[in-house]
């Protein structure tokens, strides 16, 4: 099962450099304009638009091409990784959307929120793996990852909306 999960990640993690490079280039602008809401939102929305679009196109393309990709690169060696890959591939979409939001929170000095959020999700991921891996194997581990990433993204979006709209003043 570990091999199936590992085989599934071989074509997912290399694409993470796109999001990382993009956010490394954008973050200084976010930080510089963190007090100018119009400019800040413009930069953030542009990053969300491009990275979100790239992530969705990548995930969809990799999902649809999974059988061909694994056949071309692995012949029949990792066929059992394909169902796991088809779950994990959505990690790219989620992380590409989460990147601009988390970087915006960092630029707004909301790091403590992100630390707590990620600590909670680590514990949740471990707990979910404890139950899902015995029942579903590598697919269970992939499901736990995707569920936790969706929860992280959703929580970050809700938190961002709260602080962005001024409905709640949050001090670190």
Q: pLDDT per position in the chain (172 positions), as tens? A: 767 787 778 788 888 999 999 999 999 998 898 888 888 888 988 999 999 999 999 999 999 999 998 888 877 777 888 999 999 999 999 999 999 999 999 998 999 999 999 999 999 999 999 999 999 999 999 999 999 999 999 999 999 888 776 443 444 4
pLDDT number for residue 168: 39
pLDDT number for residue 52: 94
| 81, part of any domain | yes
Expressed as residue numbers, the domain containing 66 is: 2-164
| 146, part of any domain | yes
Distance CA 103, CA 110 (A): 10
Number of domains forming the structure of the chain: 1
| 169, part of any domain | no
| 13, part of any domain | yes
| 141, part of any domain | yes
Q: 44: closest CA among 26, 61, 56?
A: 26
pLDDT number for residue 57: 97
| 170, part of any domain | no
| 88, part of any domain | yes
| 111, part of any domain | yes
């Amino acid at each position: 099962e570990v091999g199936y999960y590992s085989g599934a990640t071989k074509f997912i993690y290399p694409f993470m450099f796109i999001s990382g490079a993009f956010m490394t280039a954008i973050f200084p602008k976010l930080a510089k304009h963190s007090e100018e809401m119009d400019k800040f939102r413009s930069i953030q929305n542009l990053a969300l638009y491009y990275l979100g679009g790239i992530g969705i196109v990548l995930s969809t393309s990799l999902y649809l091409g999974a059988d061909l990709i694994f056949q071309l690169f692995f012949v029949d060696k990792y066929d059992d990784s394909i169902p796991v890959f088809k779950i994990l591939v959505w990690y790219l979409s989620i992380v590409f959307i989460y990147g601009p939001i988390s970087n915006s929170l960092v630029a707004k000095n909301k790091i403590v929120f992100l630390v707590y959020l990620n600590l909670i999700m680590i514990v949740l991921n471990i707990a979910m793996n404890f139950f899902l891996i015995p029942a579903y194997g590598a697919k269970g581990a992939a499901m736990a990852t995707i569920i936790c990433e969706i929860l992280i993204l959703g929580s970050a979006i809700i938190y961002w909306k709260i602080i962005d709209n001024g409905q709640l003043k949050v001090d670190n």
